[in-house]
Amino acid sequence: MTTVTRSAIGFLPRADFQRLIDLLSEDDRTVIGPTVADGAIVYGEVRAVSDLPRGIGAEQAPGSYRLVDRGNDLLFAYTVGPTSWKRFVFPPTLAVSRSHRDEDGHVSFGPVPKEIPKLAFLGVRACELAALGVEDRVFLGGPYTDEDYRARRTRSLVVAVQCAEPAGTCFCTSMGTGPGVRSGHDLLLIELDDGFVVTAGSPVGSAILDQLDLEEASADQITAGSDQLAAARQRIGDPVVAAGLHDRLMAKLDSPRWADVAERCLACTNCTASCPTCFCTSVSQRSDLDGQTSVTERRWESCFTKGFSTVALGGNFRPRVQDRYRQWLTHKFATWIDQFGTSGCVGCGRCITWCPVGIDVREELNVIAPPPQVVLGNGKGSEAHSPRTSVFRVDAARRETQDTVTLTLSTPSGIDWSKLHGEFVMVSVPAVGSVPISISRRLPTGMELTIRGVGPASTILTGLGHGAEVGLSAPLGRGWPVDMAEDHDVLIVGGGMGLPPLRPVVDEIIEHRAKFGEVRIYHGARTPGDLLYAEELARWAARGDLEVGVTVDRADATWLGRVGVVTHLFDHARWDGTKAIAFVCGPERMIQATVTTLALHGVTSDRIFVSMERHMECGVGLCGHCQMGPYFVCKDGPVFSLAQLGDVFGREGI
C-alpha cells in the first residue's frame, strides 16, 4: 500500500466515506451537506453517509424541478438545489446590533454577542465555490466589510465535489465558473462508481488528506474524473456569450424586452432568494415593549419587492416590474462588474429552475443583449473597515419650519469631526431604526443635522431636545468636491431639503472666500413657511460677496419675495457659466430642470455636481437598496458629477 503525501492524489472507497465525515466533524465542526427534504436536495446537517442522497438526482428545466431515483450508489449525483451555501455564511436573518436606553435617557449601542459555528461544507460545486468568491468580493472587498461574514467564512471548511451531473438549466461554462473546480476549496472529491478521487487545495485540506491515509488514485481513476468533467462541459455547452455582455446589456436599457419579460415576471423574488450571490438586505428593529432595549435585525431582501426602492413619503424609483427586472439583470451581469470586478452570476441556473413561470435568464440575455463581443470593465478595492455607532448628545434644537428642525450634536470623542470626510451619517434611534441624514454643518465637536420629520425615526428626531442622545455613524459617502471649485465661479442650487447638504459648502467657501470667484446661491422652497435658514440666507446676502436668490413655489398675498421655480432665479441671468462649477441638490426632477438651465449657461456636465436620493439602509454599499446603475449611492455618492452618471441620470425606473 502506498501512503499518499500532501501533493498526491488519493482514492477513498465509497465504503470508507464515513471516515471523511468523521474527520470533518472533529473540533466541534458541524458538517453541512446535501440531504433530501421537502422534495428537493437541500443543504442540512450530515452526520452519517446515510444522510446523503444516495442515488438521487434532480431533473431541472425552466420552472421545473423533480427528484429522480437513479438506481445507483452515487452520493453526489444531483445538481444544485434551491438552497445555497450563502445562508451559512450570510444568514437569512441576523441580529447585527443592539441599543439600550436607560431610565435616565442615556443611550448605548453595541454588538450582539453571538457564537459563530465551525462548519464543513460538503459537496460544494464549482459554481458554488465561484459564488462564495463573489460574496467574498462583495463583503470583504471594501471599503466597508461585513465582519460577521468574515468570521463565518473563515470558520468554514470547504469540501468541493466535481460536477458530473449538470442540469438543463446550468450555464457555468458561459460564466467561466465551472464545471471544473479550480480553487477556493480545502478538499476536492471526484466521485466515481466505486469511490472518490481526493485532492487537497489548502494546508487544512492536506492535513485531512494525510489523516485519511489513502491509497494513491490510479491513472485510470484520474482519467475517469477528467472524462466526467469533459462530458459535463459538453452537455452544458455555451448558452450565453459572456464576453462583452456588460456593454451589450448596458446599451439596451431601453429594450422593449424589459416590458415583455415584466408581463411574465410575477416579481415573486424566487430568483433572488435562490441566487447564491444576491446580497441585498433590509434592517428592522425589534424592541421590547417599553422601548428600552432593541435589536437591529438584518434580513435578506429582494430588489423585486415594490418597497425595496421606496424613499421617505412613499416615493419609488422603480415602481414597475420591468424596472425591477432590469435592475436585477443589469446588476447581476453588468454593473456588478463595475462595482466588484466580477460578474454577479455564476451560471448555477437556480433562478431559471425556481422561477414559477420559467423565465430563462439565458434566453432573456440573448434576446436583450445578443453578441457581438467587447471587453469587460475593471473592479476596484481599497482599505477595509466597518462603520461604528457613536453616541451623540443634542446640544441644541432649533426649529426651522413647522416640520423641520436643526439639531446641534456633539460627542466627547476627542476627534475633530469637522475634518472627517463624508456627506451623511446614519442616525440611530433606539427601538425605531436608522435614517440617513446629510450633515448640514460641520463642527469640531460634532455636527448640525437639519431633519424633516417624515417617518417614525425622523419624526422622533425632530422632537428631541437638549440632552437627548442618539447614535451616529462616522460620516459616510462622497461629498461635494469643494476643492475643485477653487479659482472658479460657484453656483449652489438647493431645492427644499436640498439646501441643508449644501450648507457646509457655503461654510467652506465663506471660510476661504478669496479662493473662489463669483458665488451664487439659489434656494427654492415650497412656501415662505418652508424656507430654511431664513436669517442665515439674509446674512449671506448682506455680506456683499455672495449673490443669494430665494424663491417659493406658491405664497399668500403677504409674501413680497419671488414666486416661481428655482431655475427662474437664473435662467435669464447673464453670467458666464463656462468658468463655473455647480452644486445642485433637491428632488431629482428639480435637479433635471436645473442642470438643463445650467447647460444653457455653458456649465459642462463634468462641472455640474448633483446629490442623488435613493433608499439607503446600511450606508456602506452592502445592502443593495440604493443602487443606481453601476453605483451604490451611499458609497459611490451621493454626490456625483453629471458626467459620471451619464445616461443613468434621469432615466425612468433605474
Partner 1 sequence: MPETEGPDPRTDDTASLVALLNATWFGANLLPETQVRLAGLARRYQAAAGTTLLTEGQLANEIGIVLSGRVSLRTLVPEEGWITILTVEPGDIFGQSALVPPYRSTSNVVALQQVDVLALDGPGLRAALAADHDLAAQMYPRVLQAMARRLSATRLQMLDLLAR
Window 518-557: residues binding partner 1 (CB under 8 A): 524-526, 530, 551, 553-557
Q: Which is nearer to partner 1, 315 or 371 (CB)?
A: 315
The least distance separating partner 1 from the CB of residue 479, rounded to whole angstroms, comes to 22
How many C-beta atoms lie closer than 10 Å to residue 210's C-beta? 16
For partner 1, give the closer residue by CB, 200 or 537.
Answer: 537
Cell of 87: 445562508
> What is the Cα 38 distance to its own chain's centre?
31
> How far apart are CB 587 and partner 1 at their closest, in Å?
4
Closest CB to partner 1 among residues 136, 575: 575
- Strands 187-191, 156-161: pairing is parallel
Q: Cell 454643518, residue?
A: 441
| Identity of the residue numbered 48 | A
Question: Is 418 strand, coil or helix?
Answer: helix
Distances in whole angstroms, Cα of residue 414 to Cα of each of 229, 410, 417, 443, 610: 60, 11, 9, 12, 32
For residues 510 and 406, what is the distance between their CA atoms, to the nearest angstrom? Answer: 20
The residue (of 176 and 587) whose beta carbon lies closer to partner 1 is 587
Q: Name every residue whose Cβ is closer than 8 Å to that of residue 450 and which is 6 or more positions away in sequence.
A: 400, 404, 405, 406, 407, 438, 440, 497, 500, 503, 532
CB of 586 to partner 1, least distance (A): 7
Smallest separation, CB 554 to partner 1 (Å): 6
Place of cell 479662493: 515
Name which of 344 and 495 has its Cβ closer to partner 1: 495
Binder to partner 1 among 13, 39, 315, 371 (CB under 8 A)?
A: 315
Binders of partner 1: how many residues, by CB under 8 A? Answer: 33
Question: SS3 letters for 91-102?
Answer: CCEEEEEEEEEC
Among 567, 611, 627, 641, binds partner 1 (CB under 8 A): 567
Q: How far apart are CA 304 and CA 307, in angstroms?
A: 9
Q: How far is the CB of 397 from partner 1 (least distance, A)?
A: 23
Q: Are 176 and 127 in contact (CB under 8 A)?
A: no
307 lines the binding site for partner 1 (CB under 8 A)? no
β-strand partners of 66: 59
Which of residues 347, 586, 637, 638 is near partner 1 by CB under 8 A?
Answer: 586
Rounded Cα–Cα distance for residues 71 and 53 (Å): 11
In this structure, what are the phi and psi dihedrals at residue 450, rounded to the nearest 5 degrees?
A: -105, 120
Q: Which segment (58-66, 285-293, 476-484, 558-566) binds partner 1 by CB under 8 A?
A: 558-566
Could you tell me if 381 and 141 are in contact, meaning their C-beta atoms sit under 8 angstroms apart?
Answer: yes
> Is the CB of 92 or the CB of 315 nearer to partner 1?
315
> Which CB sits closer to partner 1, 363 or 571?
571
The amino acid that residue 291 corresponds to is: G
Backbone torsions φ then ψ of 486, nearest 5 degrees: -60, 140
Please identify, using beta-carbon distances, which residue of 113 and 314 lies nearer to partner 1. 314
64 closest CA partner among 453, 352, 382, 454 = 352
Quick check: 565 binds partner 1 (CB under 8 A)? yes
Q: Which of 9, 41, 192, 593 binds partner 1 (CB under 8 A)?
A: 593
Q: Write down the residue that cell numbers 423574488 correspond to.
A: 269
- In the block, which residue shows the cell 425622523? 458
Output the smallest distance, CB 618 to partner 1, in A: 23
Q: How far is the CB of 123 from partner 1 (least distance, A)?
A: 50
What's the closest the beta carbon of residue 319 comes to partner 1, in angstroms? 15
Beta strands of 144-185 (E only): which ranges? 156-161
Span interacting with partner 1, options 230-238, 309-317, 325-333, 421-429, rule CB under 8 A: 309-317
402: left (phi over 0), alpha (psi -120 to 50) or beta: alpha
Nearer to partner 1, 312 or 367 (CB): 312
The alpha carbon of residue 244 and the mean position of all alpha carbons in its chain are separated, in whole angstroms, by 23
Shortest reach from residue 308's CB to partner 1, in Å: 18
Least distance CB 453 / partner 1 (angstroms): 13
Q: Does 595 engage in binding with partner 1 (CB under 8 A)? A: no
We find the least distance from the C-beta atom of residue 597 to partner 1, in angstroms, to be 10
Q: Which of 67, 207, 224, 312 is the binder for partner 1 (CB under 8 A)?
A: 312
The grid cell for 97 is 446590533
Nearest CB to partner 1, comparing residues 294 and 551:
551
Among 297, 486, 536, 571, binds partner 1 (CB under 8 A): 571
- According to the binding rule CB under 8 A, does residue 589 interact with partner 1? yes
x-or-dash string of contact with partner 1, 476-515, rule CB under 8 A: -------------------xxx------------------
Toward partner 1, which CB reaches closer, 361 or 633? 633
Instruction: For residue 289, state whether it binds partner 1 (rule: CB under 8 A).
Output: no
Strands, DSSP E only, in 62-106?
A: 64-69, 93-101
Q: Please, are residues 136 and 153 in contact by the beta-carbon 8 Å criterion?
A: yes
Place of cell 431610565: 103
CA distance 437 to 341: 30
Three cell numbers written together for 340: 466588484
Residue 122 vs 497, nearer CB to partner 1: 497
User: Residue 314 Cβ, how far from partner 1 at the closest point, in Å?
Assistant: 9
User: Which residue number, 348 or 566, has a Cβ lying nearer to partner 1?
Assistant: 566
Q: Name the region of 176 (left: φ>0; alpha: ψ -120 to 50; beta: rest).
A: left
Q: Which residues bind partner 1 (CB under 8 A)?
A: 312-313, 315, 454, 495-497, 524-526, 530, 551, 553-557, 559-565, 567-568, 571-572, 586-587, 589-590, 593
